[in-house]
Amino acid sequence: MRGFVLSVVVGICGIPALAQSPLQETGYHLFNHLDASITLGTTGIGFDLATPVTNYAQLRVGYAFMPSFHKSMYFGIQVGDKPESKYDENGNRVQTKFDRMADALNQITGYKVEDQVEMIGMPTYNNLKVLVDIFPFQKDKRWHVTAGFFLGPSRIAKAYNATEAMPTLMAVGIYNTMREKTLASYEAGWPYPPVISFGRWELNETDLIERLADSFIRYGRMGMHVGDYDDGTPYMMEPGDDGMVRAEVKANAFKPYFGLGYGGRLLRNNDRFHVAVDLGAMFWGGSPSIVTHEGVNLTNDVSNISGKVGDYVSLAKKFKVFPVLDVRFVYTIF
């Protein structure tokens, strides 16, 4: 380990010597100094290392990530394809199909079923960046034009249900499973006495099964009405096999960048500390996709999404280009 550190130190100390090579005499100032910087802005928090490659350009390589923070979103639970009002025309509270099913599920499972599910969204945004700064004015290197690319995971954000929503989601899964088995057994058994099979348990009371089937047919499936498909049918998101609901925001892993920048001394009469501002655009190559655990793309396949979720989806559709505004605090190592 000590030998490795010594090798690195010797290598770094040897870099300035490269500047005295014939490259410098021909106008190429490769590695004649090295800048390190901390970046803050819309790309997140990061760091850069920069070194000149000519009198007019420098190569900048770095990494940036978006700090983790949570944002809550809410989906309403309903039974059937159409939402029901909880209040009549006089403003009095009335019992809905969801209320009746929630009460029945509470008696069967012991879980209290809420009428909405909280989902927690968080960014997972991080990128390697390779950029070239061009200084068009040799006598005034405060201005620069930048081109390059950002490279990172395709998933840039995710959403998942809150822990407090698990009882409700489990109850929704139980209800839909009971409905499927009841209707399948009823249809397969007709006109003979139908039998509902739940593993080792069987229910063969014809009158009861008929009443259950009739109720399930009239009520419909239970789920979260997120929006509507293009043909007008509702998209009812349901929990997966693990009892959870999830969504991911995905974009291209490779994102070209182009921008402008301005920088100068941070401290008077001190050439080691600088500050620079970069303003530009990161090109997604199309709008990001928001895909649920069921494989439904909310940005392309679903419309009429209401509430905050609809606002986020509308915003994602507009973000074919990601605006970049970063501030760099630069220190010249040598």
Q: What are the two backbone dihedrals, phi and then psi, of residue 4, each rounded to the nearest 5 degrees?
A: -65, -45
- Residue 95 exposed, middle or buried by CB count within 10 Å (0-12, 13-18, 19+): exposed
Residues found in the chain: 334
**Residue 19: inside a domain, yes or no?**
no
**Residue 75: inside a domain, yes or no?**
yes
Q: Which two tokens stand for residue 196?
A: 């509902």
pLDDT tens for the chain, 334 residues long, are 434 333 433 343 443 444 444 444 444 556 688 999 999 999 999 999 999 998 889 999 999 999 988 888 888 888 887 777 777 787 788 888 888 888 878 877 777 888 888 989 999 989 999 999 999 987 788 899 999 999 999 999 999 999 989 988 988 888 888 788 777 766 666 544 555 555 555 555 555 556 666 777 777 888 888 888 988 888 989 999 888 999 999 999 999 999 999 998 888 888 889 999 999 999 988 889 999 999 999 998 998 887 778 888 888 887 788 999 999 999 999 8
Any idea what the Cα angle at residue 187 is, between residues 221 and 208, rounded to 5°? 75
Q: Are 61 and 84 in contact (CB under 8 A)?
A: no
For 313, the domain range is 33-332
In angstroms, the CA 74 to CA 310 distance is: 11
**Residue 228: inside a domain, yes or no?**
yes
**Residue 23: inside a domain, yes or no?**
no
**Bridge partner residues of 74 (DSSP):** 118
Count of the separate structural domains present in the chain = 1
Residue for token pair 């550190």: 5
**Residue 45: inside a domain, yes or no?**
yes
Any idea what the Cα angle at residue 263 is, between residues 258 and 265, rounded to 5°? 160
- Residue 76 exposed, middle or buried by CB count within 10 Å (0-12, 13-18, 19+): middle
**Residue 57: inside a domain, yes or no?**
yes
**Residue 11: inside a domain, yes or no?**
no
Residue for token pair 């007709």: 190
**Residue 87: inside a domain, yes or no?**
yes
